[in-house]
Amino acid sequence: MQKQPQSDSAITPIVWQGDRLELLDQRLLPHSEQYVTARTSDEVAQAIHQMVVRGAPAIGIAAAYGVVLAASAVDGDNWRADLTAALQRLAASRPTAVNLRWALDRMGVMVKGMQRPDAGRLLAEAQAIHAEDLAQNRRMGDLGAALFGSPVQVLTHCNTGALATGGYGTALGVIRSAHRDGRLLHVYADETRPWLQGSRLTAWELAKEGIPAQLIADGAAAYLMAQRKVDWVIVGADRVTANGDVVNKIGTYSLAVAARHHGVRFMVVAPSSTVDMHLASGAGVPIEERPASELTQLRGLSIAPQDFPALNPVFDVTPAHLVDVLVTERGVLQQPDVPGMKALMGG
């Protein structure tokens, strides 16, 4: 398979192949490295919904390529309406990460300016979104790592690495840069129940990089903080609202509460495409609920009584006052609040 030079971590989860999109199937990692082929925008939407590809920036990038596939398929007088409908179906594939809507808005602006469906111009825009995300990740990696005066022990949640982005990663990008710069002692990776992004994906990326790390049960985090084994919690985000609230993988809020209680610093790393200045606070963000079976079964094996009810919200809201530092490619914001967010985003 022809690989594109997006990632210097040798992990290429999103590969454009001229007439189709190849997506590394994150449901199968770490046991099997297989690509799913999407030849239509609806196949891309389905891949996002089913979490073949996941992570806020990555689903935005995949959706942008989905628009290219849609533009290649529309024809005739109704092309604009058909393309708009395809964009809407892509936007509906997952509700919480604002990067999806951000990327589709950007592609939609291009579509508006076209007299005919121009897949070539849309491809250039999708590739720009992809390449910009990778460059922003590297910048955030440098900015975040520069905050560590002496080598640190960190705890991270979910997967925020090359798999979740255009390459390199957000929170995991800071961890990569800190490791490169000799500023990292140790990483604790939360397993991240129930989808296990931590144990299946983050551990896989850390092992590939040779970064010193241990997997922990989600419930072990506060205990390790009490033992003074964690200097920083570093996480990504699916949406940061105008007041600095952070919506991220379920369990992030508990980590922030525990970190504040133990005097551990809490860093959020997210590109400006994750910031939603239209929403005043995290209370307005739609929180995705996924099937109960993600909790009650493990690879088809039942781990709860038959038909026992389960509730599976997959994101939560961390109030801004629990965040010590927000790192974006535009700069570092200490103690995010409304004026700080406005200054950062230029609004």
The binder of ligand MRU chosen from 15, 36, 43, 55 (CB under 6 A): 55
97 vs 90: CA distance, rounded Å? 13
Q: Residue 97, interface with ligand MRU (CB under 6 A)?
A: yes
Q: Residue 236, interface with ligand MRU (CB under 6 A)?
A: yes
What would the 3-class secondary structure string for the chain be?
CCCCCCCCCCCCCEEECCCCEEEECCCCCCCCCCEEEECCHHHHHHHHHCCCCCCHHHHHHHHHHHHHHHHHHCCCCCHHHHHHHHHHHHHCCCCCCHHHHHHHHHHHHHHHCCCCCCHHHHHHHHHHHHHHHHHHHHHHHHHHHCCCCCCEEEEECCCCEHHHCCCCECHHHHHHHHHHCCCEEEEEEECCCCCCHHHHHHHHHHHHHCCCEEEECHHHHHHHHHCCCCCEEEECCCEEECCCCEEEECCHHHHHHHHHHHCCEEEEECCHHHEECCCCCHHHCCCCECCCHHHHEECCEECCCCCCCCCCECEEEECHHHCCEEEECCEEEECCCHHHHHHHHCC
Q: Residue 11, interface with ligand MRU (CB under 6 A)?
A: no
Smallest distance from the beta carbon of 25 to ligand MRU, in angstroms?
14
The binder of ligand MRU chosen from 130, 176, 229, 249 (CB under 6 A): 249
Q: Residue 239, interface with ligand MRU (CB under 6 A)?
A: no
Smallest distance from the beta carbon of 231 to ligand MRU, in angstroms?
20
The binder of ligand MRU chosen from 68, 104, 237, 275 (CB under 6 A): 237
Q: Residue 251, interface with ligand MRU (CB under 6 A)?
A: no
Residue nearest to ligand MRU (CB): 236
Q: Residue 53, interface with ligand MRU (CB under 6 A)?
A: no
* Contacts of residue 181, Cβ cutoff 8 Å, sequence gap at least 6: 145
Q: Residue 158, interface with ligand MRU (CB under 6 A)?
A: yes
Classify 50 in phi/psi space as left (phi over 0), alpha (psi -120 to 50) or beta.
alpha
Q: Residue 165, interface with ligand MRU (CB under 6 A)?
A: yes
The binder of ligand MRU chosen from 11, 29, 56, 189 (CB under 6 A): 56
When the beta carbons of 57 and 117 are compared against ligand MRU, the nearer one is 57
CA distances from 329 to 81, 102, 188, 213, 344 (A): 35, 16, 25, 26, 10
Q: Residue 273, interface with ligand MRU (CB under 6 A)?
A: no
When the beta carbons of 72 and 273 are compared against ligand MRU, the nearer one is 273
Contact yes or no for 323/244 (Cβ under 8 A): yes
The binder of ligand MRU chosen from 177, 241, 248, 296 (CB under 6 A): 248
The binder of ligand MRU chosen from 12, 72, 156, 197 (CB under 6 A): 197
Smallest distance from the beta carbon of 201 to ligand MRU, in angstroms?
8
The binder of ligand MRU chosen from 86, 126, 143, 164 (CB under 6 A): 164
The binder of ligand MRU chosen from 6, 156, 160, 243 (CB under 6 A): 160
When the beta carbons of 45 and 74 are compared against ligand MRU, the nearer one is 45
The binder of ligand MRU chosen from 36, 314, 322, 341 (CB under 6 A): 314
Segment near ligand MRU (CB under 6 A); pick from 54-62, 71-79, 112-120, 127-135 = 54-62
Which residues bind to ligand MRU, rule: CB under 6 A? 54-57, 97, 158, 160, 164-165, 170, 197, 236-238, 248-249, 314
